[in-house]
């Protein structure tokens, strides 16, 4: 009986491992969680009160999304994650947090038009695409906090270096009115 149970547990762990590897290859990044230092710095760089939707893009296991929802009780935190195994853990951790919505979907499908903030820890390819997307879609005044990877072509209003081996940078950006698309088809900045 205990052998059967042991084999079943081994099977589930093996399948979960395979799913993580497969989705790392297809999504383009592993679900590596932010370090405690990076998480704390990201939370500290956000305004203390935010009310519109706050998106975490690629929320992994909920390392940032869960404390983010606790810290911003008046905001709705929307945590996007495509990879099924970390998403399952994120979903479990979100239960009981009424202001944390979890979505198992590609965050490029998000509606950023009412967002008050965006938080992410991703990779170069996604950041390049996001740089263009967020420039046109975010409302004026929205804040973007990223770590390790910067938004290409954006000027951070603040860069903080973590006290870790890599002096990891954490960036804060703010959308100004001038970065919105021009009303009558003019060139964007
Ligand atoms: C480096 S992990 C960061 C996890 C978490 N944000 C943290 O800081 O602990 C990046 C996550 O983004 C997810 N991801 C990457 N591209 C995505 C996309 N287009 N839509 C949804 N999730 C995505 C990956 O599956 C991965 O779990």
Structural domains of the chain in order of their starting residue, each with its CATH number: 30-179 (3.40.50.150)
What was the pLDDT predicted at 2? 85
How many angstroms separate the alpha carbon of residue 1 from the centre of ligand 1? Answer: 39
For ligand 1, the distance from its centroid to the CA atom of residue 106, given in whole angstroms, is 10
Q: What is the CA radius of gyration of the chain?
A: 18
Question: In which band, very low, low, confident or very high, does the pLDDT at 181 lie, cut at 50, 70 and 90?
Answer: very low
CA atoms within a 13 Å half-sphere pointing along the CA-CB vector of 102: 24
Report how far Cα 104 is from the mean position of its chain's Cα atoms: 13
108 lines ligand 1 (CB under 6 A): yes
pLDDT bin (cut points 50, 70, 90) of residue 179 is: low
Predicted TM-score (pTM) of this structure: 0.90
Could you tell me what percent of the chain has a pLDDT over 70? 93
Dihedral angle computed from the Cα positions of residues 145, 79, 103 and 31, in that order, rounded to the nearest 10 degrees:
80
At residue 78, the pLDDT reads 98
pLDDT in tens, 39-52: 999 999 999 989 88
């Amino acid at each position: 009986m205990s052998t059967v149970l042991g084999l079943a547990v081994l099977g589930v762990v093996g399948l979960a491992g395979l799913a993580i590897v497969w989705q790392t290859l297809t999504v383009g990044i592993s679900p590596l969680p932010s370090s405690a230092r990076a998480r704390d710095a990201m939370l500290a760089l956000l305004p203390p009160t935010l009310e519109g939707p706050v998106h975490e893009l690629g929320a992994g296991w909920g390392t940032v999304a869960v404390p983010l929802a606790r810290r911003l009780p008046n905001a709705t935190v929307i945590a996007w994650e495509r990879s099924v195994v970390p998403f399952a853990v994120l979903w479990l951790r979100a239960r009981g947090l009424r202001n944390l919505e979890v979505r198992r979907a590609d965050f490029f499908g998000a509606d950023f038009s009412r967002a008050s903030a965006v938080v992410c820890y991703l990779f170069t390819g996604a950041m390049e695409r996001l740089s263009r997307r967020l420039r046109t879609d975010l409302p004026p005044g929205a804040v973007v906090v990223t770590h390790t990877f910067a938004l290409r072509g954006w000027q951070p209003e603040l860069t903080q270096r973590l006290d870790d081996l890599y002096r990891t940078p954490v960036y804060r950006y703010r959308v100004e009115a001038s970065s919105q698309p021009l009303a009558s088809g003019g060139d964007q900045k």
